[in-house]
Amino acid sequence: MDLVIRDADVVDGSGGLAYRADVAVEGGRIVSIVKEAWAAGCQRPTARRVLDAEGLVLAPGFVDMHAHSDLALLRDPEHTAKAAQGVTLEVIGQDGLSYAPVDDRTLAEVRRTITGWNGHGDDIDFTWRSVGEYLDRLDHGFDGEGIAVNAAYLVPQGTVRMLAMGWEDREPTPEELDRMRRLVADGMREGAVGMSSGLTYTPGMYAKDAELTELCRVVGKHGGYYCPHHRSYGAGALQAYEEMVALTREAGCPLHLAHATMNFGVNKGRAPELLSLLDEALDDGADITLDTYPYTPGCTTLVAMLPSWASEGGPEAVLARLEDGDTAERIRHHMEVVGADGCHGVPIEWDTIEISGVSDPALTPYVGRTVQRSADERGETPWTTARRLLLADRLGSTILQHVGHEENVRTIMRHRVHTGGSDGILQGAKPHPRAYGTFPQYLGRYVRELGVLSLEECVAHLTSRPAARLGLSDRGLVREGYRADLVLFDPQAVAAGSTFEAPRTLPVGIPYVLVDGRFVIEDGRRTDVLAGQAVRRTT
């Protein structure tokens, strides 16, 4: 055989207790598991390579249920930020905005819109337009060899709306709605696992419930799930969750709640209310899962904080409004006094908004400082600073938003339908450390140090549970016949190296990661293996 992993402590992803075993791999699959072979006197499997895993846990590869690696997978063949964490599958196309399906106009607009998430894309050859063509491009990856880890794709509802009807804040005509239905159906047939929305991002946020319900009917019919970044994580958060539960139940579509948390001062300590809402729906037969990241701050773009009316018409229209003094003052009033929908209905607190990245290197001095601090240093109002930065960086700045609550984070991660997602934005000089640290943070801090979850529970949250949501029948467990997407880590040493001060530091205690039975991390270092591919929905 190709490989035997000997004397591993297998945490198989089921949630069951760990056991000692030899695990044999051949042809990219697990072909044999021999439990406690030395004690039973069994013949131990042999292979061309035998890896001594004494003291290491062997688990299924981790599934990042909320990733923003849409271009990073094509740009960076090493993709060490995720591979080094033990991630073997990412779900991209998140928050309703990505690069397929598009036409030439829409591609240019979406590239501008999510520069802060994925960069300008000037180094990418955008040879695709459809979902299927994008997935084919991922399959070929670098020099036709593949990508660093596997990737599944969600049809982005905001991009679909942009393609069908532009940036207008109105209801679609019957013809436009039919086109959106066809675009979603095409994406699902071409291999997408579901549909995402960004309901605090334009233009997706302009969709009313009836429109979203119709698109979810299509997704459910094709065996996918709906993954909304819903309308508020601040004021009205519980109502926003209720809206998504009711909408998907009416549509007959499974629901996966993206980065499901309760943020801002109005929601401190209110996670039990959210879980009670979900438990009631689950007990009544609803099909719901969720993901979270194990940190309190959020991360997005600075322009996302603006009220939706200020973003109608696309990036150039936003810049024109910011240039106009009277309109800019209306935007400020809405953000600082009323509470913009882009900031989840809560008046913005500039001392919680930290600039994490800029597109223009000349603006680097803003990075690592809150808007309030930069304003104080310049002797001006925070809005003056924020407006200048938005204009100078052409809307490309990313932010950390320090508005979360640790007790909410811990409460939600214990829930029976919880999964892990990094929401990792890899752009910027000072990205959120979750991009490099989410999965070892779960294992090191929340399992070993705090005991919030047992090791077996946590691994199930990060492996079999997301694989089940994605409909993958041969991933997410250490089982004979399953794909050999595997991670070996030291449970006493695994930890996130990334911090807010040094966010690109790699984790420790994860010496081996395999994708399709091939080592992408070996002895703690990235190899040149490109074994990943697009994972298409097949049901």
pLDDT reported for residue 37: 63
User: What span, in angstroms and rounded, lies between the C-alpha atoms of 473 and 191?
Assistant: 15
Instruction: Round the average pLDDT of the chain to a whole number and report it.
Output: 96
pLDDT value at 38 more than 90: no
The more confidently predicted of residues 144 and 33 is 33
pLDDT reported for residue 144: 86
pTM value? 0.95
Report, as an integer, the average pLDDT of 258-279: 96
pLDDT value at 260 more than 90: yes
Straight-line distance from the first to the last Cα atom of the chain, in angstroms, rounded to the nearest whole number: 31
pLDDT value at 539 more than 90: no
| Extents of the domains making up the chain | 62-296+404-526, 301-401
Helix axes 382-392, 371-378, angle to 10 degrees: 100
Q: What is the pLDDT of residues 295-325, one digit of tens each?
A: 999 999 999 999 999 988 889 999 999 999 9
**DSSP letters spanning 467-536:** HHHTT-TTSSS--TTSB--EEEE-TTT-B----SSSTTPPPBS--EEEETTEEEEETTEE-S---B-B--
pLDDT reported for residue 44: 87
**DSSP H helical ranges for 406-504:** 406-413, 434-441, 455-462, 464-469
pLDDT value at 146 more than 90: yes
pLDDT reported for residue 42: 72
CATH superfamily of 62-296+404-526: Metal-dependent hydrolases (3.20.20.140)
Report, as an integer, the average pLDDT of 34-59: 87
Per-residue confidence at 161, pLDDT binned at 50, 70, 90? very high
Q: What is the pLDDT of residues 212-258, one digit of tens each?
A: 999 999 999 999 999 999 999 999 999 999 999 999 999 999 999 99
pLDDT value at 384 more than 90: yes
